[in-house]
Chain A
Amino acid sequence: MDVNEHEISVRPDSKYWTEDEYGVGKLFTWQGEFYRFVGVVDAALAEGNLVEYASTPGYVTNDRSGGSSVGRAPAGVAVTACPVGSFCFVQASGVGLSDLTTDGGVAAAEYLMPHATTDGGVDTMADGSEESVFGMAFAADASTTLAAGKYILKGVV
């Protein structure tokens, strides 16, 4: 793609790549919302994983302990499964495309942040963690799932 082209033609939730097809760390749009093209380290991503920035530029991880995460700095939500060492798009704005895994305690109108210990999981924001917010819930979770379409991303782009 030319450097001034931002709209991708491929569905971001349809595939992953084994090569750095678009340039890791770059932002693109699809249907009016932002997606970030990333490389995956530490562990394979499942769809709906909340990923954090890893210590290598343009790479992300779902690993909350023992991996290469730099901390509770959200990079986006995985919209497809993606093996370690592969590349994919993660959602960075708009209404969520994928179900999130929660701790079972999310209520409507709560702010969301990465879970501190559950790999790829999300939690409700606690006082003092405002900088880690990545989304807002429109509905309560059901068991440990916050459904696609029931949250919106914020502050990730």
Chain B
Amino acid sequence: MEGLIEAPIGVNDEEQRYEFGTLYYWNGRLFRYAKFVDSVDYSDGHVVEWAAANFSAVTNDKSGGSSLGRLPAGVALNAVTSGNFGFFQVGGLGVVRLYAYDVDGTAQVAAGDFLVSDSATDGMADQMADGEEEQVFAVATAAGSSSYVAAGDYVIRGLA
């Protein structure tokens, strides 16, 4: 594991500057670096899924993109340009807001909910349903708003 000299938030590299698959540490949290692919605009708080079997690429695109499926890689930290490279968080107290709201007719995120990557909405997280336990990537420690779970109100786990 390598400590990052620069803050991982805001990185949007046109050329690769860090290793793929390596665990990076910054300010008590864990991160990985990859190429952000497909055509859906990225935002801070988007759940990204693995898009390449060699851990070189991630995507927020749930349909029509190159996602390998409901294999959560982490949470995007900023608006990385599609085709560019950046960091995403894979462990610790959430450093940015998390995109998650009541998209499927169930209740909004509540404290204690386990979270998975939503099966349909690009970049979104959703509450775990029975049978999705293996997909859990985070737990909420406070209720979400109508759009997001706030930074610090969720913990990423199981991805490092």
Q: In the complex, A54→B128 CA distance in Å?
A: 19
User: A53–B155 contact, CB under 8 A?
Assistant: yes
When A4-B5, A5-B3, A57-B93 are in contact, do A156 and B28 touch as well, CB less than 8 Å? Answer: no
Residues of B contacting A: mostly = loop
Closest-by-CB residue of B relative to A128 is B130
A16-27 toward B: CB 8 Å interface, digit per residue (1/0)?
A: 000000110111
Please tell me if B20 contacts chain A, counting CB pairs below 8 Å: no
Which residues of B from 106 to 160 have beta carbons under 8 Å from A?
111-112, 114, 128, 130, 133-134, 136, 139-142, 152-153, 155, 157-158, 160
Which residues of the other chain, B, contact A157 by a CB distance below 8 angstroms? 30, 91-92, 157-158, 160
A71 to chain B, nearest CB (A): 3
Please tell me if A6 contacts chain B, counting CB pairs below 8 Å: yes
Chain B: interface size category: 20 to 34
When A57-B153, A70-B111 are in contact, do A23 and B28 touch as well, CB less than 8 Å? Answer: yes
User: A130–B25 contact, CB under 8 A?
Assistant: no
User: A155–B157 contact, CB under 8 A?
Assistant: yes
Number of A-B contacts defined by CB within 8 Å: 85
When A53-B155, A130-B134, A155-B157 are in contact, do A70 and B141 touch as well, CB less than 8 Å? Answer: yes
When A55-B141, A131-B136 are in contact, do A26 and B5 touch as well, CB less than 8 Å? Answer: no
User: A57–B152 contact, CB under 8 A?
Assistant: yes
Which residues of the other chain, A, contact B142 by a CB distance below 8 angstroms? 55, 57, 70
User: B93–A26 contact, CB under 8 A?
Assistant: yes
Closest-by-CB residue of B relative to A32 is B1
Which residues of A from 28 to 77 have beta carbons under 8 Å from B?
28-29, 34, 37, 53-58, 69-73, 75
Which residues of the other chain, B, contact A29 by a CB distance below 8 angstroms? 1
Please tell me if B68 contacts chain A, counting CB pairs below 8 Å: no
Q: In the complex, A130→B3 CA distance in Å?
A: 32
Please tell me if B18 contacts chain A, counting CB pairs below 8 Å: no
Please tell me if B27 contacts chain A, counting CB pairs below 8 Å: yes
User: A6–B93 contact, CB under 8 A?
Assistant: no
User: A27–B30 contact, CB under 8 A?
Assistant: yes
User: What are the 10 tightest A-B residue pairs by CB atom distance, in nearest-first order?
Assistant: A26-B28, A4-B3, A71-B112, A130-B133, A70-B112, A25-B93, A3-B27, A57-B152, A73-B139, A70-B111
Interface residues of A (CB under 8 A from B): 2-6, 22-23, 25-29, 34, 37, 53-58, 69-73, 75, 128, 130-131, 155-157
